[in-house]
Every structure is written in C-alpha cells, then in structure tokens.
Structure 1
C-alpha cells in the first residue's frame, strides 16, 4: 500500500514556483521591509530564513486584519 503523504512540492511543483515568486515579491514590498525593521530586535532568537519571515509576516498581517 502506497503512502498518500507526498511532499506538496513533489505533488504540485507549480505551487512551489508560485510561492517562490510570491515570496520574493512580498520580501521587496515596503510593508514587509517596515515590518522587518520593527521586528529586528524581537527576532534575534528566530530563524532568519526568508521563507519563515514571510510566513510570519503574512500570519501577523492576517491576524491584524481579522481583529
């Protein structure tokens, strides 16, 4: 019996390309740059990986909008 737990990048390679493109666009936006400057001191123990920073930025932005 085969496992249905295949990595998303293998299952949907176009999604990975779209995310990379979107991530780069977000990283160059003024909102992300400002957010990054504001969170620099807090983030000293956080991973500096761009993927993680963009995900955190999006999560915090959506939480703020939902509030």
Structure 2
C-alpha cells in the first residue's frame, strides 16, 4: 500500500473511533434521553439512526 492509502485508512479508523465515542456520549445525555421519551422511541432500536436523527433535529432547531 502506498503511504497515502495507509494514511486515508488510518484517518477512517480514527474517525470511526471518534464517532463511536461521540455517539455513546450523546446516547447517555439527558437531552437525548428526553428526546427519546418525547417521541416514544424504542430505546432498544437502532442507536445509530436515533443519534443521527437527534442531531439532525437539534441542528435544524439551532438554525432557526
């Protein structure tokens, strides 16, 4: 592998680790948990999709 391919691979791995940690922190937050309750979202559902939806809605709200 060339150095640029290795570097890109390493960046993707690092980005994935950062996202996993961020996702876990968001899922533990009271704001996220309240958001789930307000929408009657299954807490055992797909956490990835839930966190992404939560972030999208939060950013939309902040944009106003």
Verify same fold: TM over 0.5.
Answer: yes
TM range (shorter): 0.7 to 0.9
How much is the aligned-residue C-alpha RMSD, in angstroms?
Answer: 2.2
Structure 2 gap ranges (5+): 1-8
**Structure 1 residue ranges, 4+ long, deviating more than 6 angstroms after superposition:** none
Alignment match, 1:14: 14
Structure 1 length as normaliser, TM-score? Answer: 0.72
1:29 to partner: Cα distance? 0.3
Query: In the comparison of the two structures, how many residue pairs are matched?
Result: 55
Structure 1 gap ranges (5+): 1-8
Alignment match, 1:24: 24
